[in-house]
Amino acid sequence: MEAIVTRQVELTNAIMGHAKEATPYDQLKAAIADVHPPTAEHSIRVRIYATSIGLTWGLSGRELTNLAIAAEIHDIGKLYVPIAILDKPGPLTDKEWAVIKKHPGWGAELLEGVFPGQPEIAFCVGHHHERLDGSGYPGKLREHQLPVLCRILAVADAYASLTEDRSYRAAFGSRDAMGVLRYVEEGKYDKNVLDALASVQISLHSERSFRFNPNTNFTFIRTLISV
Ligand SMILES: [Fe+2]
């Protein structure tokens, strides 16, 4: 608990240190980069994927703006998580998972009142780990409760996570990542959003044909895209 409070103070100080930034959005982005650069890098990729999907989806300018902001600060609540848990190279204990699972709610709370008139931003941040089949967190929301911006953010976040190198595994190629989201995680992500992601033909990663390897540890993969 003490470690969480220390992290909250650290992030609050970083945000205050950027109080002269042009907008609250700039202020929050700069604070994330100060406190945990890997989260900032991941968030930029999530924003790029989310807005690419949003453009092919035909979102309005307002929706695209809200999606871009939510994407780039979606993990801000993660910065309250003690660094020993956040950067732990091995598997997390149940207790550590319980702390990680608080990050969407912490993020939404932090954003309360920051974007008046754009409640979609805090909602998407608070629910970016929900899954259509109700297996996500923190609210176990289901398909009909998840607006399209949340669905797009969930896909962009999971895709970005899978295609990033981690200390304990190499990045998935884009086809493999799509295969995981479509087939291993079937029913959890919006198929139309996955089609939209495929249609933007992101070529930042090497492409390999997806195949089910009987030795693949899908539980482990599931863990990777749930943080
Ligand atoms: Fe997250």
Neighbouring residues of the ion ligand 1, judged by CB less than 5 Å: 75
pLDDT of 212 reads: 52
Spacing, Cα 125 to ligand 1 middle (Å): 8
How far is the C-alpha of 150 from the C-alpha of 130, rounded, in Å? 8
Burial 152-175 (b: 16+ CB within 10 A, else e): bbbbbbbbbbbbbeeeeeebbbbb
Spacing, Cα 78 to ligand 1 middle (Å): 7
Q: 79, 64, 1, 71: which is closest to 33 by C-alpha?
A: 79
Q: Would the pLDDT of 26 be above 80?
A: yes
Q: Would the pLDDT of 123 be above 70?
A: yes
pLDDT of 206 reads: 43
Q: Per residue in 148-197, pLDDT tens?
A: 999 999 999 999 999 998 766 788 988 899 999 999 999 999 999 999 99
Looking at CATH, the fold of the domain delimited by 2-224 is given as Hypothetical protein af1432 (1.10.3210)
Spacing, Cα 128 to ligand 1 middle (Å): 7
Residues involved in catalysis: 78
Per-residue pLDDT band for 202 (boundaries 50, 70, 90) equals low
Q: Is the peptide bond before 138 cis (omega within 30 degrees of 0)?
A: yes
How far is the C-alpha of 126 from the C-alpha of 116, rounded, in Å? 16
Task: Domain ranges for the chain, please list them.
Answer: 2-224
Kindly compute the dihedral angle of the four CA atoms of residues 134, 137, 138, 139, in this order, to the nearest 10 degrees: -10
pLDDT of 180 reads: 95
Q: 46, 69, 56: which is closest to 162 by C-alpha?
A: 46
Token output for 165: 């190198």
